[in-house]
């Protein structure tokens, strides 16, 4: 019912929306309609292993059909007569893609399947889209055109984005885990530590990035060594400091919680068995604490991937460069080219951390972290 794609004769021209039924397609809209009807019927069929498996299959088919229809629309609209034309997915496409995700993810969350099977199903849409991109079938898409024109810059900014987020989270782990331990061991320091990290979290990200500029610029002028090391008012240094501060709260909180939930009786039982302090740490405290600490790191990593986008405003680079360039040029396709990789990175890293947490969780405490 909604416009499915938008056609622009060139990058700066106004686009014209097209519905599925106005594209000159033959059987493709009927295929998509049949899959949607099947999804609606399954939604009324209750629950059960077979229904759940059918929902996963229909959700995956919905994504594949949505992409197929968009590809066919591009082949029809972009011809030799419009060599600079480009097709952009709009509301109908995105709602169908979102629906496919909700169907598959909602079914997988309640399925008692092997985690590897779940992971393969979740990666399938990405594999389909990657295959279409590699084959050149998506070249008529406006977002892909933006990527082709900036392929080298995209690789550079993607590397920068990952490096900034990774270094910030590693620094937050080095600072946050000891802070959480100190807050747990020294009750007098518990309130000041959590007041500090909670207050940092309430500061808007753009404001925190801005607050770093003046003091670092002053230090850079006063100490030439810092300037030689790359510490300036703009660039990577203020971005890393701000990202590290934002990543602290989940790590400090989960470290504190991981130690607080260990019953004293468990520690006393270990002492009663003659365990040394090192043995208690290795066989009792670490197995119980590490999964909770990793959950905090998981939250911090996903948060850092998103917050690094704002770092582009102070010259640190990253995928946010394309987002803000798109905003400045009123180019939605360029914005989407920056936003989609950020979302994919956050989802993939979150899933990877979930698998890691499941592996390090003791069997007696393990549950399906996926």
48: left (phi over 0), alpha (psi -120 to 50) or beta: left
Q: What is the pLDDT of residue 369?
A: 45
Whether residue 172 is found in the same domain as residue 297: yes
Give the residue from 341, 342, 322 showing the smallest Cα distance to 332.
Answer: 322
| Structural domain harbouring 33 | 5-142
Is 370 inside a domain boundary?
Answer: no
pTM of the model: 0.80
Domain with 339 in it: what CATH number?
1.10.3720.10
Q: Is 368 part of any domain?
A: no
On whether both 257 and 286 belong to a single domain, the answer is yes
| Residue 257 forms part of a structural domain | yes
**Sequence-distant (≥ 6) Cβ neighbours of residue 303 within 8 angstroms:** 246, 247, 250
Phi first, then psi: what are they for 364, rounded to 5°?
A: -70, -20
> Could you tell me if residue 369 is inside a domain?
no
* Residue finishing a domain among 89, 123, 142: 142
Quote the pLDDT of residue 160. Answer: 94
Count of domains observed in the chain:
2
Note whether residue 367 is domain-resident: no
Same domain, 137 and 178: no
In a domain, 135, yes or no: yes
Say whether both 238 and 323 belong to one domain.
yes
Residues 175 and 112 in one domain: no
Q: Which of 142, 164, 196 is the last residue of a domain?
A: 142
Strand partners, 165: none
Q: What is the pLDDT of residue 365?
A: 60
137 and 197 inside one domain: no
Evaluate whether residue 236 is within a structural domain.
yes
If asked whether residues 92 and 207 sit together in one domain, one would say no
Structure tokens at 83: 């060599």
Residue 38, burial from CB neighbour count under 10 angstroms (0-12, 13-18, 19+): middle
Q: Are residues 190 and 128 in the same domain?
A: no
Whether residues 187 and 124 fall in one domain: no
**What pLDDT, on a 0 to 100 scale, did the predictor assign at position 366?**
56
Q: What is the pLDDT along the chain (370 residues), one digit of tens a residue?
A: 889 888 888 777 778 888 888 888 888 888 888 999 998 998 888 778 888 889 999 999 999 999 888 888 888 888 777 777 888 888 999 999 999 999 998 888 888 888 778 878 888 888 888 888 888 778 788 888 888 888 889 999 999 999 999 999 999 999 999 998 888 888 888 888 889 889 888 888 778 878 877 777 787 777 777 777 767 777 788 888 889 999 999 999 999 888 887 777 777 777 777 777 677 767 777 777 888 899 999 999 999 999 999 988 888 889 999 999 888 887 788 888 899 899 989 988 998 888 888 887 766 665 544 4
Domain boundary pick from 110, 142, 174: 142
Three-state secondary structure string covering 83-137: CCCEEEECHHHHHHHHHHHHHHHHHHHCCCCCHHHHHHHHHHHHHHHHHHHHHCC
Q: Looking at the domain assignment, is residue 366 inside a domain?
A: no
DSSP character string of 261-315? TS-HHHHHHHHHTT--HHHHIIIIIHHHHHHHHHHHHHHHHHHHHHHGGGGGGGT
* Interatomic CA distance for residues 301 and 303, integer angstroms: 5
Q: Are residues 218 and 344 in the same domain?
A: yes
Residues 161, 212 within the same domain: yes
Q: Please indicate, yes or no, whether residues 70 and 211 belong to a single structural domain of this protein.
A: no
Predicted pLDDT of residue 367: 55
Quote the Cα angle for 297-123-172, to 5°: 15
């Amino acid at each position: 019912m909604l416009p499915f794609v938008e056609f622009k004769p060139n990058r700066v021209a106004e686009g014209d929306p097209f519905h599925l039924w106005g594209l000159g397609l033959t059987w493709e809209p009927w295929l998509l309609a049949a899959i949607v009807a099947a999804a609606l019927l399954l939604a009324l069929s209750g629950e059960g292993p077979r229904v759940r498996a059918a929902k996963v299959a229909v959700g995956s088919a919905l994504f594949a059909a949505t992409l197929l229809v968009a590809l066919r629309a591009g082949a029809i609209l972009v011809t030799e007569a419009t060599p600079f034309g480009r097709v952009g997915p709009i509301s109908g496409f995105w709602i169908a893609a979102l629906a496919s995700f909700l169907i598959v993810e909602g079914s997988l969350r309640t399925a008692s399947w092997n985690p590897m099977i779940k992971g393969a199903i979740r990666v399938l849409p990405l594999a389909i889209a990657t295959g279409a991109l590699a084959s050149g079938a998506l070249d008529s898409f406006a977002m892909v055109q933006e990527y082709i024109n900036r392929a080298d810059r995209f690789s550079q900014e993607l590397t920068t984005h990952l490096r900034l987020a990774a270094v910030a989270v590693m620094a937050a782990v080095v600072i946050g885990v000891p802070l959480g331990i100190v807050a747990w061991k020294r009750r007098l320091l518990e309130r000041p530590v959590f007041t500090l990290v909670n207050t940092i979290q309430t500061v808007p990200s753009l404001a925190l990035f801005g607050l770093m500029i003046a003091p670092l610029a002053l230090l850079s002028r006063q100490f030439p060594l810092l300037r030689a090391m790359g510490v300036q008012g703009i660039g990577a240094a203020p971005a890393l400091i701000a990202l590290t501060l934002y990543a602290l709260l989940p790590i400090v909180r989960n470290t504190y919680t991981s130690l607080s939930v260990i019953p004293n009786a468990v520690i006393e039982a270990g002492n009663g068995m003659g365990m040394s302090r090192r043995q208690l740490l290795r066989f009792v405290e670490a197995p119980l604490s590490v999964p909770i600490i990793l959950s905090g790191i998981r939250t911090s990593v996903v948060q850092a991937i998103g917050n690094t986008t704002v770092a582009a405003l102070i010259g640190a680079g990253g995928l946010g460069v394309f987002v803000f360039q798109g905003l400045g040029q009123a180019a939605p396709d360029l914005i989407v080219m920056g936003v989609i990789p950020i979302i994919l990175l956050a989802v993939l890293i979150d899933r990877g951390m979930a698998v890691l947490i499941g592996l390090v969780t003791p069997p007696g405490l393990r549950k399906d972290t996926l």
